[in-house]
Every structure is written in structure tokens, then in C-alpha cells.
Amino acid sequence: MVHHGIKGRTLRSGALLALLGVSLIALSACTGGEKAAKAAKAKPGTASSQTVGVAVVVAQALPRTINATGTISPWEEVPVGAETGGLTAISVNADEGQTVQAGQVLVKLNDTLLSAQLRQQEASVASARATLAEAEAALGRARELQARGYLSQASLETSLARQQTASAQLAAAEAGRGETAARLAQTAIRAPVSGLISRRSVTKGQIVSTGAEVFRIVRDSRLELDAEIPETDLLLVKPGMPATIVSDRVGQATGRVRIVTSEVNATTRLGVARVALIGMGGFRPGMFARATIDAGGQPALTVPSEAVLYRENRPGVFVVDAGNRVHFRRIAILASTADRIAANGLTAGEKVVVEGAGFLGEGDVVRIGSAVPTTTAKSAR
């Protein structure tokens, strides 16, 4: 009985030792695995690399459109003023928003006094003309008598002086009549150019002073948009480029860039391109409007749209270096099409990740599995 008890205790002790050994081996294996995992995490890129598709950064003539905002203004705004003054406006024949033709009477001033002065001066002209005729007849007789020896040279010269005086008096009377006739004509204030009346400053019954502005006319009803453009895009805009002008209130119109100003605002860094509207439509001076200018094909470095990722709301791409490691680089998007994006911050010939970019981290090692073909952009935004 004693031998059997000792033998049982010996077997139980051996089993316990064996179990303890297995536990130690398992614990060692776990510890080693954790160290290996930590080591792998501590060295990015040492894990198995991911297979990605890449594309090469290429230079392309990408269609560019430039967006701008601004204020509608007249191409030329012509002030209409009174050339004669101190007279009452007895009729006003136009109003704001009305289109007028060159020469059309806009305001009629009271011409009663000037008409009377003109009649008086016409009578003075007639009298001076009769006096001149009499003096010329007397001069003719004096010359005939002097030729026959019946009249002295002094008397002839007197007749000649009277004739010259009468001629000068006639010229003065005609000049006075011409001045009054001109002032009388100025009582009808006419449109100097054709166009749209943008402002009226006169009312019936008002006494109009000399030089007072009574109307403003948008010459030929031509409007333009003073489009404010960032200095980075201003060099791309050229006269003659087509544009679309849009207003939320009156719709849209077509136009062309008339001129690009040479000055950039030092505070806002904005320049101005004057876009002439083709037809007024419902646009009026002072309105706010947006413009989209077609700048045509512009050389730019482009990548496929799928290559662009947004980190912290800023665009960027993963660039593959010579060791097949990827690095995230911020870019500035200039324009985009259905499948391409033009951006600053790239170099021609670089490889960027297109397929699988969303699963990468900074410094990851990748395997290049395929190259994404370059396509030509057809339309730009």
C-alpha cells in the first residue's frame, strides 16, 4: 500500500512539471511575437508591400476657365448738359431706362426771349445791309466823278471809308444774329449719342443753369463687367477671349474680354479685366455678376483625378520615390476635367499612386503593379 501511494505522488508531480514547461514555452512564444510585431510597427515599410497602380505626371495643354466676379458698368457714360442757361424747362421728353437716338430732343427750354432777340437782330442785319448798299452806291459815284476830275481825292477817300464802315456794321450785325440763333438752337437739348438713359436730373418747370447736367447716357447701350481676377490667373486672360456673364436676377449673357488693366490692387491682389457684354438683356449698371472666361488651352502638369486625396481638407498625392517608398505631397489645384487635374507642386515625370492610394501611409513601400494610361482632357471647370 505504501509503494502504491509513493508511485501515485510521483506521477502527479511529473504531470505538473510537464504542464508548467508547456506554459513557459507558450508564454515565450507570445512574448517573442509581440516583440516582432512592435519591431515591425517601429520600421514602416518592412511589412509586406502593397501593390498599387501608378501614373506619370505629364504636361498637357489643358482647357482652362477662369472664374471672376464684378460689377456691371457702362462702356462709356456720356453726361448731357445745358449749353445755355437761366431758362425754364418747358418739356422733358425722355426718362431713365429709355433708349434714345443721337440728335433726339431730350429737353426743350423756354425760347420766347431768345426768339424776340433773334428777330430784332435780323432787323439790324437788314438795316446794316441797306446802309452798306447805299455806301457802295455813293462810292461808285465818287469814283466816277473823281475820274472826270470833278471830285477831289479826299472826298473819294471819305466815300470809301463810309463803305468800309457799313460793311463792318453788317458783319457785326450778322455775328450777333448768329450768336442769338445758336443760343436759340441750344434751347433744344439733344442727345449727343445714341444709347440708354441711365440718369435724369431735370424736371419740367425747373430753371436750368448753364452747364447743368440733365441726363446721363450709356453710349450705344454698351455695358461691360469689371471682372476682378486673382493675380495668379490674370496673366492668362487676353483681350478677345469669350466669356459668359451670369446674374441670379436677370440670367446670363455672352461677352468678350475688351481689355485687361495693367494694375493689381496691392491689398486684395486682384486685377481687373473689362468684359464687354454682347447685348444688354436685363443687365443694368451697378448690378453684381459672375463671369466665366474661356482661357483656351493652357500648358499645365496633370495627374489622373483618382490620384488626388484630401487630408485635412487639403488636396495632395502620394509620390513614389526611387526606392518605391511613397510620400504624401500637398498640391494646389488649378483646373480639373472629367478625368484629369492640373496642379502646382508637381514635377513632370514623377510617379503618383492612382490605384490603392487610399490605403497608404507616409513612407510605405509599394510594389508597382500597373501604369494608368494618360488621357487627354476634353473640358475644364
Higher pLDDT, residue 38 or 133: 133
Dist. CA 317–CA 372, nearest whole Å: 15
**pLDDT, average across residues 86-98:** 94
Higher pLDDT, residue 38 or 239: 239
**CATH placement of domain 111-186:** 1.10.287
Dist. CA 326–CA 319, nearest whole Å: 5
In this structure, the number of other CB atoms found within 10 A of the CB of residue 83 comes to 12
The pLDDT of residue 374 is 59
Q: What is the DSSP string of 290-351?
A: EEEEEEEEEEEEEEEGGG-EEETTEEEEEEE-TTSBEEEEE-EEEEE-SSEEEEES--TT-E
The pLDDT of residue 156 is 85
CATH of 67-75+221-297, one of 2.40.30.170, 3.40.50.300, 3.20.20.70, 3.40.50.10440: 2.40.30.170
The pLDDT of residue 372 is 67
Compute the C-alpha angle 299/339/254, nearest 5°.
65
**pLDDT, average across residues 186-206:** 95
The model's pLDDT over 241-273, given as tens digits with 9 standing for 90+, comes to 999 999 988 899 999 999 999 899 999 999 999
Residue 42 has pLDDT above 70, yes or no: no
Give residue limits of the domains in the chain.
50-61+299-371, 67-75+221-297, 76-108+192-220, 111-186
Assess contact for 352 and 336: CB atoms under 8 A.
Answer: no
The pLDDT of residue 62 is 76
Q: Which residue has the cell 517573442?
A: 32
Domains 50-61+299-371 and 67-75+221-297 share a fold: no
**CATH placement of domain 50-61+299-371:** 2.40.420.20
**CATH placement of domain 76-108+192-220:** 2.40.50.100
Dist. CA 152–CA 146, nearest whole Å: 6
Residue 1 has pLDDT above 70, yes or no: no
Dihedral of CA atoms 32, 38, 40, 42 in degrees, nearest 10, equals -150
In 39-187, the DSSP E strands lie at 50-56, 58-74, 77-81, 87-92, 99-100, 105-109
The model's pLDDT over 341-372, given as tens digits with 9 standing for 90+, comes to 889 899 999 999 999 888 888 999 998 886 76
**pLDDT, average across residues 112-121:** 94
